[in-house]
Chain A
Amino acid sequence: MSTSGDQATARNTNPNNSYEITPSATDSVSSLSFSPIADILVATSWDCQVRCWEITRSDGSISSEPKVSMSHDNPVLCSAWKDDGTTVFTGGCDKQAKMWPLLSGAQPFTVAMHDAPICEIAWIPGMNLLVTGSWDKTLKYWDTRQPTPAHTQQLPDKCYALTVKESLMVVGTGDRNLLVFDLKNPQVEFKRIESSLKHQTRCLAAFPDQKGFLVGSIGGSVGVHHIDDAQVSKNYTFKCHRVGNTICSVNSLNFHPIYGTFISTGSDGTFSFWDKDSKTRLKAMSRCDQPITCSTFNHDGALFAYAVGYDWSKGAENHKPDTAKTSIYLHLPEEADVKPRSTYKVGRFTVKKEQI
């Protein structure tokens, strides 16, 4: 790609012609979550708001309808749905997590408290517990009916990323620690691994088969980790989200709920489709003018939501609040892009093992 071409595409706010959800957030979107049973999307953002839209799709056309919204006192950083799709949990800089039974129309109320902002939140259906990760170096499990945590797990450093898949939970903290938990026995660290990537952990995604997880760093690479010691030899890392020599952060990793391929998004404003088993990039999308801050698949994988806005990867000096527009887009992935290929070209394979 030539630089001029880069600039040309960079000016385009929606180069992939995705459907834009309106009204959008007024500041960067920090998390997107689809209901596990319906096409209801929730977005949390730095403007302290949590918004909810209902998405309807018919024959390839999409429409969205804003439904409800609520607000925190401070920027909201994370969100998660309860497995029955009735309730949304959100957490943020006000050091609280709120439970919002939005389907029943009830008001949100606080269910969890930390000493520092809550940056990760997840619902554990098997245990009926909420787990929150915070910069106060703890992980807390909450029975939402109790005012005190069911269990507090001390972390070696601040929590930066978290992923839950049935009984597998992986927590990424500062100092490149990756903590693996078996949720059948959540009080004991199952394993502590040092990230295979050189830079700070930014995002995690557990394999659908729970045998491992992906880790994305702020240094433009993704690591594939297997948990079983016998499988460690299959671990590898690859570079992505780079524009020429500029290294961009990998901001989110999402597995397709049906095909097991995954999408990565980054500060370079692109999102790409990957197949970890064949080590193939299935598709690369055009570059947006701003970073993609977060993304998610809906429950059947037919919709991919991603948010474009400034992610602070270049600090405050590069934040231009006047021109930076935050948008939330919906992309309809083509089947060919998300289905793992039976045959693939090794020659075009861009992924290679990175030196640690």
Chain B
Amino acid sequence: MASIQKDPILQVETTCGSLLYELQIIWDEVGETETDRDKMLLELERECLEVYRRKVDQANRCRAQLRQAIADAEAELAAICSAMGERPVHIRQTDQSVGSLKQELGRILPELEEMQKRKIERRNQFVVVLEEINSITNDIRGQGELVHSKPLIDETDLSMRKLEDLHCQLQALQKEKIDRVETIRKHLCTLYSHCSVLGMDFNEVVGQVNPTLSDPEGPRSLSDHTIEKLGAAVQKLREVKIQRMQRLQDLATTMLELWNLMDTPIEEQQEYQHITCNIAASEQEITEANSLSEDFIKYVEAEVVRLDEVKASKMKELVLKKRSELEDICRKTHLLPVSDSAIDQTIAAIESGIVDATMVLEHLEQHISKIKEEALSRKEILERVEKWLSACDEESWLEEYNRDDNRYNAGRGAHLTLKRAEKARNLVNKLPGMVEALASKTIVWEQEKGIEFLYDGIRLLSMLEEYNLLRQEREEEHRRQRDQKKLQGQLIAEQEALYGSKPSPSKPLGGKKAPRMSTGGATNRRLSLGAAMHQTPKPNKKADHRQNDGALSNGRRGLDIAGLPSRKQSMNPSEMLQSPLVRKPFSPISTTVIASKANIATTTQQQLPKNNTVNEISSFATPVKNINSIRNLEEEKMMTMMMQTPKNVAAMIPIPSTPATVSVPMHTAPTPFTNNARLMSEKPEVVEYSFEERRLAFMLQAECGLV
């Protein structure tokens, strides 16, 4: 019973039973009818059922709500997990589910809360990244006016992968931004350097591209458009720079040419040195500020214009200067100067404005360099010639001295004279060797150059030959003198025998002049030597030419040399006849010719008083003959040399054409029309022309005709 009493339902039942009993007692007392009693009991039972049903319904509803809550939580959890890309922690498996619904809900709710918290964190991360992306994108797109709208977040995908993607995207954008900033920076740097070189206002140039760029602090526009415009600006400035640089280099070139032309002093050049040093610089090398500014170019231009004006005024002066330089060099190296008339003509042409003075200058300059080159090659031989000439001076002095019968008279400075005589004798002994060495050197030189070695317009070889002749002649004279002396001695001896008196040693003729002769005689001798040489150049040259031609043709054809001398000799008489005739046209030296003639005549007269009857021509005739004989020997020597070394023939070929010293100025005359006309008229048959040369000549002539 105790167990039954403990049960509340049993207690309720007991209470219900006791209450029913109490009701039966009440009813009995009241005397309720059986039907009323049944009716009352039925009602009681129905009300009880009602109460039960209501409670069951309530419980049922509560259960459904609980289930719904769990399902919702689970759904939310699943959604969050899927959005965050994580495997759901809570997987409800109905079979395994243990515990009541409330337990289940209790378990799921904290998880959900946790996930929600994480989701909010994740979402914030997304917001941060997206905001950054948005801002950079805006920067790059360059639409500054775009409002910073809140980034739209796709709530369904908040996974780490998406976040990483966004991070990557952000990084790429950041990199691009850095790149763009760098590009712009570089462009700005280049632009700045260009601006500084060109002397332009950097801020103004940049401001035109994009106003934000000129502000050093504020944010700069990074858009494609800006970069493009900036690049274009850089390119434009670069083109301007190149253009100006070329302009400046052109100016610098002109300037250099002008300096060169006018021999401008270095100090004056120094001022513009920084310009001319850039003459070959490339575009990148020019970085100096303002070195290409408009003002600077104007300044250089002004200088060039000034120089040009100076040049115009100086041109004639320059031409004359160059010409005197040329003549000076010619004189120093004993080359024949360019004929005066040719240069006078060109100067007249400059004055009349027909010819461009620069061309003449150029031509003169070329000529000078050519002459200098030639002078260099002549140097060695010239030195030897000087030695030889001074030796000749000594020789003639010695001769005069020897002729002085009073030479051993003791007087003031006699010991010096004696010493000089001793030295001179030594020198004279060396003379033949010296001449021979000089001759062979000259021959070698002539063969190398293919032209004759001219000394003051006379062939050196012929000078040497002449000298050898004179020497031979002198030796002969010496012999005769010795004979005469012997004769005189005999005469004196006879006189002594007759009168017993001894005459004092007498001077032969013009005794008073003797001491002067002994010093001045040298120059006389030299003059006569020079004059003797002056007499022959033309015929000699001609003969040489002919002989050369002959030698060449012989050499080429391989004919026997034996036939040669006879041919040469056949030419001699004509040469002999020509030589006195040809002398006349040499008007500038005619006086010396006459003087020398007289000189020779007087000396011969002095030396050979008994031979006074010998006329001038015959005295000249002998040496000429000798010259030829010697020359023939020379010729043969050259011939044999040439035969031995056939290569020399080729080297010699240019000789007959024209000796360079004479014809070069004509060839390279600068003014094409006059030049061509002259060339054409002079030797149309010799010069070879191509079709193009003929055409150009025709064109120039036609132009000239129009002018």
Contact = CB atoms under 8 A, between A and B. Distances in A.
Interface of A: 30, 46, 75, 77, 93, 107, 109, 115, 117, 119, 135-136, 145-147, 156-158, 160, 174-175, 192, 200, 202, 218, 249, 311-313, 315-316
Contacts of B693: 135, 158
A156 B654 CA distance: 9
A202 B366 CA distance: 29
B252 to A, nearest CB: 11
Contacts of A93: 696
B685 interface: no
Please provide the 3 A-B residue pairs with the shortest distance between their CB atoms, ordered closest to farther: A312-B691, A312-B695, A174-B688
B691 A311 contact: yes
Nearest to A46: B695
A30 B691 contact: no
A255 B366 CA distance: 40
Contacts of B694: 312, 315-316
A249 B691 CA distance: 10
Given A145-B280, A147-B280, A156-B654, A200 B699 contact: no
Contacts of A109: 246
A315 B697 CA distance: 11
Interface centre among A75, A156, A312 (most CB of B within 10 A): A312
Contacts of A316: 694-695, 698
B691 A75 contact: no
B688 A117 contact: no
Given A75-B699, A115-B668, A316-B698, A30 B366 contact: no
B692 interface: yes
A124 B698 CA distance: 33
Contacts of B280: 145-147
B691 A313 contact: yes
A200 B691 CA distance: 10
Interface of B: 246, 253, 279-280, 366, 650, 654, 668, 688, 690-696, 698-699
Nearest to B243: A107
Contacts of A192: 650
Given A115-B668, A145-B280, A158 B695 contact: no
Nearest to A109: B246
Given A115-B668, A156-B654, A316-B698, A77 B692 contact: yes
12 contacts: A77-B692, A119-B690, A146-B280, A147-B279, A157-B688, A158-B688, A175-B688, A200-B690, A311-B691, A312-B691, A312-B695, A313-B691
A31 to B, nearest CB: 11
A136 B654 CA distance: 16
A157 B687 CA distance: 10
Given A75-B699, A136-B668, A312-B695, 18 more contacts: A93-B696, A115-B668, A119-B690, A146-B280, A147-B253, A147-B279, A156-B654, A157-B688, A160-B690, A174-B688, A174-B690, A175-B688, A192-B650, A200-B690, A218-B691, A249-B691, A312-B691, A316-B695
A160 B690 CA distance: 7
A291 to B, nearest CB: 10
Contacts of A249: 691
B692 A119 contact: yes
A93 B694 CA distance: 12
A90 to B, nearest CB: 14
Contacts of B650: 192
A115 B253 CA distance: 18
B594 to A, nearest CB: 43
Contacts of B692: 30, 77, 117, 119, 312
B533 to A, nearest CB: 32
A313 B690 CA distance: 9
A117 B696 contact: yes
Contacts of B654: 156
A144 to B, nearest CB: 11
B377 to A, nearest CB: 14
A135 to B, nearest CB: 6
A146 B699 CA distance: 32
Nearest to B693: A135
Nearest to B695: A312
A158 to B, nearest CB: 7
Nearest to A176: B688
Interface centre among B366, B650, B690, B693 (most CB of A within 10 A): B690
Contacts of A156: 654
Nearest to B668: A115
A133 B328 CA distance: 33
A199 to B, nearest CB: 10
A308 B696 CA distance: 19
A75 B690 contact: no
A123 B571 CA distance: 54
B688 A75 contact: no
A30 B699 CA distance: 15
B556 to A, nearest CB: 12
A246 B694 CA distance: 21
A312 B699 CA distance: 12
A63 to B, nearest CB: 32
Nearest to B687: A174
A218 B688 CA distance: 12
A311 B696 CA distance: 12
A64 B289 CA distance: 47
A115 B366 contact: yes
B705 to A, nearest CB: 12
A119 B693 CA distance: 9
Contacts of B668: 115, 136
Contacts of B279: 147
A119 B690 CA distance: 10
Contacts of A136: 668
Contacts of A311: 691
B696 A75 contact: yes
A200 B692 CA distance: 13
B690 A158 contact: yes
Nearest to A136: B668
B513 to A, nearest CB: 56
A112 to B, nearest CB: 14
A139 to B, nearest CB: 16
A145 B366 CA distance: 24
Nearest to A77: B692
Contacts of A135: 693
A108 B581 CA distance: 61
Contacts of A77: 692
A100 to B, nearest CB: 14
Nearest to B702: A316
B366 A200 contact: no
A175 B692 CA distance: 16
Interface centre among B246, B253, B688, B699 (most CB of A within 10 A): B688
A93 B695 CA distance: 11
Contacts of B253: 147
Contacts of A315: 694
